[in-house]
């Protein structure tokens, strides 16, 4: 008996058959729970449902019909666990922004959206599905089951996800005062960090110019070596016939060979740009001050800006 015939008998699908009629025997996204829902089997997802195509019938393991997909799509468009988590993310990001001390009103605006979304999610959380693929499941009648569209209850999602309990901010004066005191400390630190950055930006060009001069001779030597190597490569490639394999000059290889020669980031940045401009290739490397250079930079600033000393421990 051929494979197609066996498939037809196993699935109960004869004549016009679609992918929705073919069970996915590996499907295990929905897990049967011990407890029942209104006397019916209950299935929960293994993790948050980010799109409706994660969902299939947990009994026959077939895709949902287009009608059911549309119902689920409407439910998810109104609200779902992922949208709730996104709003909680907005709330937590607002906590991390320290450009003011009292941001409770802003938090309240986001929290109201979270509460509204949680109500929508809870109201549509349990989806009742009727499996009609009786031939596949070897049943004599259709079976109803519930699918929980949430990994956690909206209440638990909020409790576990929000860094600061907003209800306590509104009702517990000590909790609120401690929150605002912590915000004030962070706010002052952010102002000091900004001041430190402004001072460093003011002296950075002067420092880089000075340090580059220390290494300029080595820089010019490296430039010549790289340029010569690149010219030899071009000449060699130019002599090859049309059927010969041509090789790209690896700019990053030259960069990493020379990078360790230099102590200062200003020289390294100049050399990196030179190689990129010479070869037209991009080198994926981030040149920053290493610890020793940064300490030297700080001492450079201190000789010119005594107030900078107050910012060194930040």
Encode the chain in three state secondary structure. Answer: CCHHHHHHHHHCCCCCCCHHHCCCCCCCCEEEEEEEECCEEEEEECCCCCCHHHCECCCCCCECCHHHHHHHHHHHHHCCHHHHHHHHHHHHHHHHCCCCCCCHHHHHHHHHHHHHHHHHHHHCCEEEEEECCHHHHCCCCCEEEEEECCCCCHHHHHHHHCCCCHHHHHHCHHHHHHHHHHHHHHHHHHHHHHHHHHHHHHHHHHHHHHHHHHHHHHHHHHHHHHHHHHHHHHHHHHCCCCCCCCCCCCHHHHHHHHHCCCCCHHHHHHHHHHHHHHHCCCCCCCCCCCHHHHHHHHHHHHCCCHHHHHHCCC
pLDDT at 19: 59
> CB neighbours (10 Å) of residue 299?
9
Tokens of 80: 């779902």
pLDDT over threshold 80, residue 100: yes
Please state, for a pLDDT cut of 90, what percent of the chain lies above it: 84
CA atoms within 13 A on the CB side of 245: 1
Mean pLDDT of 271-281: 95
Angle value at C-alpha 111, between 108 and 112, nearest 5 degrees: 90
The span from the CA of 6 to the CA of 27, in Å, is: 20
pLDDT over threshold 70, residue 2: no
pLDDT at 151: 95
The span from the CA of 227 to the CA of 275, in Å, is: 8
Taking the model in full, what pTM does it have? Answer: 0.75
pLDDT at 238: 77
pLDDT at 159: 95
pLDDT at 121: 97
Contact between residue 129 and residue 144 where contact means Cβ atoms under 8 Å apart: yes
Please state, for a pLDDT cut of 70, what percent of the chain lies above it: 93
Contact between residue 138 and residue 66 where contact means Cβ atoms under 8 Å apart: no
The arrangement of strands across the sheet holding 30-37 comes to 30-37, 40-45, 143-148, 126-131
Tokens of 271: 């050399």
Per domain, the residue ranges of the chain are: 20-171, 183-240+247-311
The span from the CA of 6 to the CA of 195, in Å, is: 75
Predicted confidence band of residue 11 (pLDDT cuts 50, 70, 90): very low
The span from the CA of 59 to the CA of 61, in Å, is: 6
Q: Which residues contact 228 (CB under 8 A, 6 or more apart)?
A: none
pLDDT over threshold 60, residue 5: no
Contact between residue 103 and residue 94 where contact means Cβ atoms under 8 Å apart: yes
Among 35, 33, 13, 37, CA closest to 23: 13
Angle value at C-alpha 157, between 152 and 162, nearest 5 degrees: 165
Mean pLDDT of 206-221: 97
The span from the CA of 61 to the CA of 17, in Å, is: 16
Contact between residue 272 and residue 285 where contact means Cβ atoms under 8 Å apart: yes
Q: pLDDT of 139-183, one tens digit each?
A: 889 999 999 999 999 999 999 999 999 999 999 999 999 999 999
pLDDT over threshold 50, residue 98: yes
pLDDT over threshold 60, residue 8: no
Predicted confidence band of residue 225 (pLDDT cuts 50, 70, 90): very high
pLDDT over threshold 90, residue 1: no
């Amino acid at each position: 008996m051929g494979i197609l015939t066996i498939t037809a008998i196993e699935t109960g699908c004869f004549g016009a058959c679609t992918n929705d009629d073919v069970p996915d025997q590996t499907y295990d996204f929905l897990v049967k729970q011990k407890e029942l829902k209104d006397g019916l089997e209950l299935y929960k997802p293994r993790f948050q449902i980010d799109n409706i195509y994660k969902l299939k019938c947990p009994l026959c393991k077939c895709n949902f019909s287009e009608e059911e997909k549309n119902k689920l799509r409407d439910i998810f468009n109104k609200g779902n666990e992922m949208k709730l988590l996104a709003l909680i993310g907005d709330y937590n990001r607002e906590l991390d922004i320290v450009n003011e001390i009292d941001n409770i009103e802003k938090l309240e605006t986001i929290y109201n959206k979270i509460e509204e979304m949680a109500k929508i999610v809870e109201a549509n959380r349990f989806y009742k599905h009727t499996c009609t693929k009786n031939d596949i499941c070897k049943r004599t009648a259709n079976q109803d089951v519930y699918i929980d569209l949430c990994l956690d209850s909206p209440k638990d999602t909020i409790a576990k996800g929000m860094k600061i309990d907003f209800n306590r901010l509104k009702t517990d004066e000590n909790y609120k005062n401690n929150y605002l005191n912590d915000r004030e400390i962070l706010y002052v630190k952010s102002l000091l960090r900004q001041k430190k950055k402004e001072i460093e930006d003011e002296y950075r060009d002067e420092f880089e110019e000075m340090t580059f001069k220390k290494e300029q001779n080595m820089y010019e030597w490296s430039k010549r070596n790289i340029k010569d190597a690149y010219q030899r490569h071009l000449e060699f490639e130019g002599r090859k016939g049309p059927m010969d394999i041509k090789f790209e000059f690896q700019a990053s290889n030259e960069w990493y060979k020379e990078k360790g020669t230099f102590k200062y980031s200003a020289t390294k940045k100049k050399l990196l740009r030179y190689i990129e401009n010479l070869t037209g290739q991009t080198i994926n490397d981030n040149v920053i001050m290493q610890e020793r250079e940064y300490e030297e930079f700080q001492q450079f600033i201190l000789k010119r800006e005594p107030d900078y000393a107050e910012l060194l421990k930040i």
